[in-house]
């Protein structure tokens, strides 16, 4: 063997080690051969694709897996054409960075088969000073699909957590509001009790004055007037106490017209100050319904309150209409105020949803609808147009009342 001869190359293999001559390394022939065989074993054991290309993108080596993928041995052909069926250099190519000595790890989706690959590009420095690029490529499509699926589930979980967190914040705000309302009710009950005691004392004094014989006609008239006003205030306090008294959930016959009239007496001054006129359209033979009295009062009071608050400062009209329909007693509360915004209409009965900027708790209609359902009835927005907004409470009649109303229809 000549001293300057090269080591024989392994067919189809490019050695990554520097190309020493025997003159440069007289004792290195066997070591170089061993290194070459070790590198060849590593290449053959790699389950991905390997190729080596020159600085001008010409393929110098392909492993068996890449040959099987491309269907040919493409030594000397452009790498971008062999690997990706492109007619020009790939825009993501790392060749220039590798030629500067960098080792680059990156991922790419091949336009040839739409699969994902992890690529490790390393420089191979030759003894003659030239540099080639070695690319080791692994198909990571399954991993990428799993990552994408994991990311999708992560995003869904984050959205779910965000929604649940929002619900918790909303629930907490609702609990705070409900607690405030409960405290307000208890305070109102205490105030009613405290107001009622001195009123009883004043009434007793006036009763004694009325029985006194030494009174002028004017004093007698003033005493009677004062007694009437005291009775009116005490009746008002009694109504407030009835509205606040906790429900026993006992059903009994409830005369709906009487409940409506009691509410109107309670709100008479308020409605008068607001210049609101009440129009009653009562069915003449509407029978009582079986219901929890204070709960029905609560629903009707809320509907009338809402109708009053919907009217402008200049006043307006509230129409109270009762009747029968398909075995139910119906009470419709209608105002001639503005239309409910279409965006709000679907949410009117959601708890704590309110169209009143600062005054509303958002509980009135939601609680009222639940009460109606508890009684086997319904509460619905039955008309919504400018100048005519109506809510209808429908409560089932007893079998006897329904039979009698069918036999004797209203005039």
Distance CA 19, CA 311 (A): 97
Report CA dihedral (88, 93, 98, 102) to the nearest 10 degrees: 170
Is residue 368 within 8 A of residue 306, CB to CB? The reply is: no
Q: For position 28, what pLDDT does the model report?
A: 65
For 83, the 3-state DSSP assignment is helix
Cα first-last separation, the chain: 130
Instruction: Tell me what percent of the residues of the chain surpass a pLDDT of 70.
Output: 82
Q: For position 105, what pLDDT does the model report?
A: 93
Is residue 308 within 8 A of residue 271, CB to CB? The reply is: yes
Distance of CA 141 to the CA centre of its chain: 35
For 367, the 3-state DSSP assignment is helix
DSSP H helical ranges for 50-135: 64-70, 79-84, 95-99
Distance CA 398, CA 395 (A): 10
Q: For position 227, what pLDDT does the model report?
A: 82
Is residue 20 within 8 A of residue 32, CB to CB? The reply is: yes
366 Cβ contact partners less than 8 Å away, ≥ 6 residues apart:
349, 350, 351, 352, 353
Instruction: List the chain residues with pLDDT less than 70.
Output: 1-28, 174, 176-186, 239-249, 356-362, 399-411
Report CA dihedral (243, 247, 250, 256) to the nearest 10 degrees: 30
Q: For position 404, what pLDDT does the model report?
A: 52
Q: For position 298, what pLDDT does the model report?
A: 86
Going from the N-terminus, what domains does the chain have, and what CATH number goes with each? 46-139 (3.30.450.20), 141-245 (1.20.58), 252-407 (3.30.565.10)
Q: For position 276, what pLDDT does the model report?
A: 94
Is residue 188 within 8 A of residue 244, CB to CB? The reply is: yes
Residue 237 CB coordination number (10 Å):
16
Q: For position 383, what pLDDT does the model report?
A: 92
Q: For position 33, what pLDDT does the model report?
A: 78
**Using alpha carbons only, what angle is made at residue 352 by residues 390 and 248, rounded to the nearest 5 degrees?**
80
Q: For position 16, what pLDDT does the model report?
A: 37
pLDDT digit string, tens, across residues 37-96: 887 777 777 888 999 999 999 999 999 889 988 889 999 999 999 988 888 998 889 889
Is residue 352 within 8 A of residue 362, CB to CB? The reply is: yes
- DSSP of 135-182, one letter per residue? EEEEE-HHHHHHHHHHHHHHHHHHHHHHHHHHHHHHHHHHHHHHHHHH
Q: For position 52, what pLDDT does the model report?
A: 94
By C-alpha distance, which of 148, 135, 138 is closest to 115? 138
Q: For position 240, what pLDDT does the model report?
A: 66
Q: For position 12, what pLDDT does the model report?
A: 37
pTM attached to this predicted model: 0.47
382 Cβ contact partners less than 8 Å away, ≥ 6 residues apart:
332, 390, 391, 392
134 Cβ contact partners less than 8 Å away, ≥ 6 residues apart:
16, 50, 51, 52, 121, 122, 123, 124
């Amino acid at each position: 063997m000549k001293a300057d001869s090269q080591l024989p190359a392994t067919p189809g293999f490019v050695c990554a080690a520097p190309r020493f001559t025997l003159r440069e390394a007289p004792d290195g022939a066997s070591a170089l051969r061993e290194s070459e065989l070790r590198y060849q074993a590593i290449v053959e054991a790699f389950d991905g694709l390997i190729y080596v290309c020159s600085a001008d993108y010409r393929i110098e080596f392909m492993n068996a897996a890449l040959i099987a993928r491309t269907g040919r041995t493409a030594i000397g052909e452009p790498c971008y054409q062999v690997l990706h069926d492109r007619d020009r250099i790939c825009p993501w190519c790392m060749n220039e960075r590798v030629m500067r000595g960098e080792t680059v790890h990156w991922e790419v989706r091949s336009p040839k088969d739409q699969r994902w690959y992890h690529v490790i590009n390393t420089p191979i420095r030759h003894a003659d000073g030239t540099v080639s690029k070695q690319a080791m490529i692994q198909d990571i499509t399954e991993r990428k699909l799993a990552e994408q699926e994991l990311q999708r589930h992560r995003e869904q979980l984050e959205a779910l957590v965000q929604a649940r967190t929002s619900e918790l914040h909303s629930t907490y705000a609702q609990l705070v509001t409900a607690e405030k309302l409960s405290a307000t009710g208890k305070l109102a009950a205490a105030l009613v009790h405290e107001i009622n005691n001195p009123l009883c004392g004043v009434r007793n004094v006036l009763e004694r004055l009325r029985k006194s014989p030494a009174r002028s006609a004017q004093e007698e008239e003033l005493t009677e007037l004062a007694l009437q006003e005291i009775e009116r205030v005490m009746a008002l306090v009694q109504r407030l106490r009835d509205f606040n008294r906790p429900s026993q959930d006992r059903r009994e016959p409830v005369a709906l017209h009487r409940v409506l009239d009691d509410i109107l007496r309670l709100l008479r001054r308020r409605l008068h100050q607001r210049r609101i006129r009440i129009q009653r359209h009562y069915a003449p033979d509407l029978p009582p319904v079986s219901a929890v009295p204070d709960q029905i009062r609560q629903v009707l009071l809320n509907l009338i309150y809402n109708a009053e608050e919907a009217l402008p400062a200049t006043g307006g009209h509230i129409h109270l209409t009762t009747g029968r329909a398909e075995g139910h007693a119906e009470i419709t509360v209608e105002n001639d105020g503005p239309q409910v915004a279409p965006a709000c209409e679907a949410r009117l009965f959601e708890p704590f949803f309110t169209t009143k900027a600062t005054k509303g708790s958002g509980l009135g209609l939601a609680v009222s609808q639940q009460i109606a359902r508890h009684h086997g009835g319904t509460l619905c927005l039955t008309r919504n147009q400018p100048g005519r907004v109506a809510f209808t409470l429908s409560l089932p009649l007893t079998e006897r009342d329904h039979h009698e109303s069918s036999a004797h229809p209203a005039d």
